[in-house]
Structure 1
Amino acid sequence: MLTTEEFLVELENIDRQPETMFVQQQQSEENYPLHQHQKTQLVYVRGGVAYLITPSKTYFLPARHYVLIPPGLAHRVLFHSAQHLITGLCFAEAGDAEHPFFGRLGIYPVTDLLYELLRYTTTWYGHYGPAQYEPYLF
């Protein structure tokens, strides 16, 4: 679990390494400040509930749902309970911001396939780039 100061440093690294995917598993009441990055972010709520706060709206995120946050959207995720479990993935593909699915905020229930793929990442943490892909292929 990152402190707020560590998170802010990691946030800079997320944009400095466009070829990598950043993976974070979280189970605590640490609430990070409003921030943005140039990668699409998928936040999966495994347990408990969370709130996604943007400058214009607050969204409710129930368990077994994910939110897709487009690049450049200022946001923060807020928790009111230590019982939550969150998986966060930040990734970049050319054209994400203009893509009709990846370019806009959306909250969706998790399908069984996506659930299994996210479950596969529960031991991952940090930046994963082309040099690290081999051990994680399945």
Structure 2
Amino acid sequence: MEQYVNRYYITEVDRHPDTIYCHHAVMGEKFIPEHVHKKGQFLYTEGGVVYLNTPQQSYFLPARHYIWIPAGVRHSIHPSTPEVIMRNLYFPVYEYDNSFFMQTAIYPVDDLLMELMMFTNRWNGNIHPQEESRYSIAKSFKMLLPELSKGALPLALPYPDDSRLLKIVEYLDRHIADTISFKQVADHFGISERSLARLFQKELNMSFIQYFTILRMLKGLKLLLDDKLSINEVATKVGYSSLPTFSNTFTKIVGVRPSEYVKHRGLWDR
């Protein structure tokens, strides 16, 4: 498996506007700095967790999931280790693309999509429309994504602009294992509960409970995959005394039971 070289994602992806660009490689870097493509990007990773940041949100891409990044969305990529394998397919924007291709979102990968994706592993670089067989297969891969990807998962957290809320979410991140009530947070920062509730909705478009729950599940996912902790240990470290409650919440947010990650993480880390 080759490594990312010559900043291919800046110099090569958009060199030919009508091609589909494939690239499967070991990351080999601690991060890919902010950049933008004129093509839509399918990104799947193996061997670690990847954070992907846009100007608006921070996305958390775990094993057995992919992220769709629409054309024109600026983003940077931050893997948990340079040994992460990234599987990328970049597609031109077609006039008949539907709303699915207009939003950045994370979806689970089922067995069929996995087989289709691995089929593209034999290709590297540009696939031109004149290469009718390969181009048709790769184009069909894109067209199948809306059918095979039902229900985007909320594996992202927005960035607050308000300086007060920025301090609050940093506080929550530091106290992820603690039992913290909404009232305690409001009192700690000297703000009324009503004002704090409005601030969360206005800035983040979600409630305090929604934000803190997603934050805890993303932290739990990272602990499961990176630190190889048991489910019980992870539940405790993200503030859950009840294992069934943690497991059910994790499944609702991530789309896979934590036991599945424990069972398969050895395979996904290869």
Q: TM-score, normalised by structure 2?
A: 0.45
Aligned residues: 134
- Checking the alignment, whether the CA contact within 8 Å between 1:53 and 1:76 is kept in structure 2 is yes
Residue 71 of structure 2: aligned partner? 71
Specify which structure has the higher proportion of strand.
Answer: 1
Say if 1:36 and 1:123 are closer, same or farther in 2 by CA, change over 3 A: same
Higher-Rg member (1/2) = 2
Runs of 5+ unmatched residues, structure 2:
138-270
In the TM superposition, 1:22-101 aligns within 5 A as: 22-30=21-29, 31-95=31-95, 99-101=98-100
- Tell whether the 8 Å contact from 1:51 to 1:61 is kept in structure 2 after alignment: yes
Offset, 1:93: 3.1
The change in CA–CA distance for 1:45 and 1:13 in structure 2 (over 3 A counts) is closer
Aligned partner of 2:4 in structure 1 is 2
CA contact (8 A) 2:40 2:70 kept: yes
Report the secondary structure of 2:22's partner residue: strand
Using the size of structure 1 for normalisation, the TM-score is: 0.84
SS in 2 for 1:116: helix
Hey, what's the Cα distance between the residues in 1 that align with 2:28 and 2:115?
25
The correspondence of residues 98-113 of structure 1 with structure 2, limited to 5 A, is 99-113=98-112
Higher relative contact order structure (alpha carbons within 8 Å, sequence separation ≥ 6): 1
Deviates more, 1:47-56 or 1:63-72: 47-56
d(CA) in 2 for partners of 1:135 and 1:72?
25
Deviations 1:23-64 (A, max 9, x none): 111213322210001111000123321111112221110011
| Alpha carbons of structure 1 residues 13 and 78: separation in structure 2 relative to 1, 3 Å | same
CA contact (8 A) 2:46 2:84 kept: yes
Q: Structure 1: any 5+ residue segments left out of the alignment?
A: none
Fraction of identical pairs, as percent: 36
Q: Take 1:68 and 1:113, find their aligned partners in 2: how far apart are those partners? A: 17
Change (3 A) 1:39 1:136: closer
Equivalent residue letter for 1:37:
H
Q: Following TM superposition, where does structure 1 have runs of at least 4 consecutive aligned residues deviating by more than 4 angstroms?
A: 135-138
